A = this chain, B = another copy of it.
Amino acid sequence: MKESSPIQASKAPAIARAAAVLRLLGRSDTPLGLGAIARDVALNPSTCLYVLRALAEEELVAFDAATKRYTLEAGVLTLARGWLRQSAFAELVPASLDRLAPRFGVTMLGVQIVGLDHIIVVAAAQGGQNFQLSAEVGSRFPALISATGRCIAAFGAHDPDEIATRFAALRWDDPPGFARWQAEVEQVRERGYAVDDGNYIAGVTVLAAPVWKGAGAMTQGPGHALVAIGIGSALRRSGLDALGEALLIEARGLTRQMGG
């Protein structure tokens, strides 16, 4: 039997339900009622009510008794603080971002790589005052997209078939063919950093360099990456190579600081 039975396979389904509810509330722009929530996460209203009450008890969701609507509660911030506290990367990366962003006038991101599924923005710094290509902390992106994706493909020890499958599911503004993409990935292995020149978002150029986590963990692939984002025309004018090399230096410094 193939392993693909993701729903109901767990021995603690209430947790998956709770996570789905939290994510829905995080996505929603307005407070939601029980009915709307139950419908969206495909739960029985009664079950959903108990989930919401338990989450409210933990102060992860807020309940407005007057309108009977639910929202995320600030308790989720406390969890995030706990993660930030213990993540060496999150602690160290802002300094690197603050160095590079003003120097090259780019938006800098520090991202965490979560498997082959996706990456999560951990920290950000704005370079130019005019064009703010803001990606907020906590945002998720598909793992293989853009420059970071080429990094993951180049340095992660992943199954080629798996990569091909996931590549096919990506959405680009201007998709590169798989063959050309693979050639670029090969180039990343030599050069050390990756470039996405308008493929992901038209007119926008993205660079990424890998940061490894623990000592000698390089065989398992990078756990993080530094990302630079800027307007393509401006970046090409000021020289991509200089930015790429600066990314590499900072990324190597971070790897070293984290015990490499």
Q: Which residues of A contact B (CB under 8 A)?
A: 8, 10-16, 18-19, 22-23, 25-30, 50-51, 53-55, 57-60, 71-87, 94, 112, 114, 117, 120-122, 134-140
Contact = CB atoms under 8 A, between A and B. Distances in A.
B76 A76 contact: yes
Given A12-B50, A84-B136, 19 more contacts: A8-B57, A11-B54, A23-B78, A25-B82, A26-B79, A26-B86, A71-B86, A74-B87, A74-B120, A74-B122, A75-B114, A75-B120, A77-B80, A77-B84, A78-B120, A79-B80, A81-B137, A81-B138, A84-B134
22 contacts: A12-B51, A12-B54, A14-B14, A14-B15, A16-B54, A26-B79, A26-B86, A29-B86, A59-B117, A74-B120, A75-B120, A76-B79, A77-B120, A77-B138, A78-B138, A78-B139, A80-B80, A81-B139, A82-B138, A84-B135, A85-B136, A94-B134
Given A50-B10, A51-B12, A54-B11, A83 B79 contact: no
A253 to B, nearest CB: 20
B82 A76 contact: yes
A30 B88 CA distance: 11
Identify which of A15, A135, A139 gathers the most chain B CB atoms within 10 Å of its CB: A15
A114 B59 contact: yes
A58 B120 contact: no
Contact of A26 (B58, B73, B85, B139): B85
